[in-house]
């Protein structure tokens, strides 16, 4: 198997106002990201960690005025033949994507501190990802976008909107790979209330969709992480040029 771990030229990727985006370069850095993940995902322990951590580059956004980590995520580059080793492959049959012709990057464990809902944080995170995508020649970004909790009923408008507008192209669509799923693509028959749908859509997923992203036709019920999540893909060539320019302008 081949894992491509992006090697940034600088540990500091971006600086804007009170925020610094940088690579988690030390064991204490990574430990702090794992603590933030545990807090955000509510997993009931001091740190969220798994075997994928050692395969990834970890990015954090730090408030350098207070010294707090306000956002973190991890990135792993993969070729199509290695997709079975991705985090998402635990939950989805991604064999259809094995024939994808370009290099892919999995985005995982994206979270923002609950008390720091600043739109600049999301913009800086995406700007850092854009920089990686440009420098590494990535063709597709993918990952699991999570809804808090495991009850689908409160997100029915969001799932109806995903079904109506954002399902994956058939040739790349992930198939079911988990025992417990909500098949909104096949089961949900309702006209979405777009305002309610967007209000309960996770911010990361909303950003994917604004850029032209697509999702699986089912959500995995992940009781260990207390989330419902959908496989989310974004082909870089599909991102509108004006959005690319806005993100690159921050780098």
Domains of the chain: 12-248 (3.40.630.30)
DSSP string over 135-189? HHTEEEEEEEEEEESS-GGGGHHHHHHHHHH-BPPTTTPPEE-SSSEE-HHHH--
pLDDT at position 242 is 87
pLDDT at position 216 is 98
| CA-to-CA dists, residue 31 to 46, 108, 169, 183, angstroms | 10, 16, 38, 36
pLDDT at position 95 is 93
As to burial, measured by CB atoms within 10 angstroms (0-12 exposed, 13-18 middle, 19+ buried), residue 81 is exposed
pLDDT at position 2 is 40
Q: At what angle do helices 119-136 and 241-248 cross, to 10 degrees?
A: 100
Joined tokens for residue 209: 């969709």
pLDDT at position 206 is 93
pLDDT along the chain (251 residues), means of 10: 48 87 93 94 87 94 92 94 94 94 94 87 89 90 95 97 97 95 95 96 93 97 93 93 78 62
């Amino acid at each position: 198997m081949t894992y491509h771990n992006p090697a940034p030229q600088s540990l500091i990727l971006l600086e804007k106002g009170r925020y610094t985006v940088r690579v988690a370069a030390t064991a204490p850095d990574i430990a702090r990201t794992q603590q933030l993940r545990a807090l955000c995902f509510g997993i009931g322990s001091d740190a969220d960690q798994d075997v994928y951590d050692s395969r990834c580059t970890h990015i954090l956004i730090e408030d350098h005025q207070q010294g707090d980590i306000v956002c973190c995520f991890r990135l792993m580059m993969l070729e199509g033949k290695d997709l079975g080793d991705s985090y998402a492959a635990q939950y989805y049959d991604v064999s259809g994507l094995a024939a994808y012709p370009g290099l892919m990057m999995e985005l995982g464990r994206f979270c923002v501190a609950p008390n720091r809902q600043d739109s600049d944080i999301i913009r800086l995170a995406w700007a850092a990802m854009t920089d990686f995508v440009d420098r590494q020649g990535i063709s597709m970004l993918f990952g699991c976008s999570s809804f808090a909790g495991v009850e689908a009923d409160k997100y029915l408008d969001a799932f109806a909107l995903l079904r109506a507008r954002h399902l994956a192209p058939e040739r790349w669509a992930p198939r079911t790979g988990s025992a417990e799923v909500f098949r909104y693509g096949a089961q949900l028959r309702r006209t979405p209330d777009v305002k309610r749908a967007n209000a309960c859509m996770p911010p990361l997923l909303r950003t994917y969709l604004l850029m032209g992203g697509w999702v699986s036709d089912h959500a995995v019920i992940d009781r260990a992480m207390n989330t419902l999540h959908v496989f989310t893909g974004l082909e870089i060539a599909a991102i509108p040029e004006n959005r690319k320019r806005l993100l690159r302008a921050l780098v």
